[in-house]
């Protein structure tokens, strides 16, 4: 697993799978997250609210995995017209 923290949304991103996991109890450790609750960025399992909460730094980490990273995709605006970018 290649893990990075998404501080703006309290999640951990597994860069090798494009999956996020929620952090447990606002833990300061990147290694304390809920493995039983994987959420795929590839399969667009994240809410609009979650995406709009991403900071510029965090959305750049998620960009390669999000379905909307292509301007011909109807989800493009959802991801990349984020006010934090």
Domain assignment present for residue 44? The answer is: yes
Per-residue pLDDT tens digits for 31-54: 688 888 899 888 767 887 888 888
Report pLDDT for 80.
Answer: 58
Domain assignment present for residue 65? The answer is: yes
CA 33 – CA 35 distance, rounded (Å)? 6
Report pLDDT for 84.
Answer: 56
Domain count, the chain: 1
Report pLDDT for 5.
Answer: 92
Instruction: Write out the residue range of the structural domain in which residue 56 sits.
Output: 3-80
3-state secondary structure (DSSP) of residue 5: strand
Domain assignment present for residue 85? The answer is: no
82 band by pLDDT with thresholds 50, 70 and 90: low
Q: Which residues pair with 6 in a beta bridge?
A: 11
18 neighbors 41 (Cβ within 8 angstroms)? yes
* Pairwise pLDDT comparison (34 vs 21), residue with the higher score: 21
Domain assignment present for residue 17? The answer is: yes
8 band by pLDDT with thresholds 50, 70 and 90: very high
Domain assignment present for residue 67? The answer is: yes
């Amino acid at each position: 697993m290649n893990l990075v923290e998404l501080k703006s949304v309290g999640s951990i991103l597994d860069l090798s799978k494009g999956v996020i996991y929620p952090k447990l109890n606002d833990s300061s450790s990147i290694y304390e997250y809920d493995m039983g609750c994987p959420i795929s960025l590839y399969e667009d399992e994240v809410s609009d609210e979650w995406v709009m909460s991403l900071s510029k730094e965090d959305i750049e980490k998620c960009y390669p995995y999000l379905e909307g990273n292509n301007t011909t995709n109807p989800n493009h605006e959802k991801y990349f017209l984020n006010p934090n970018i």
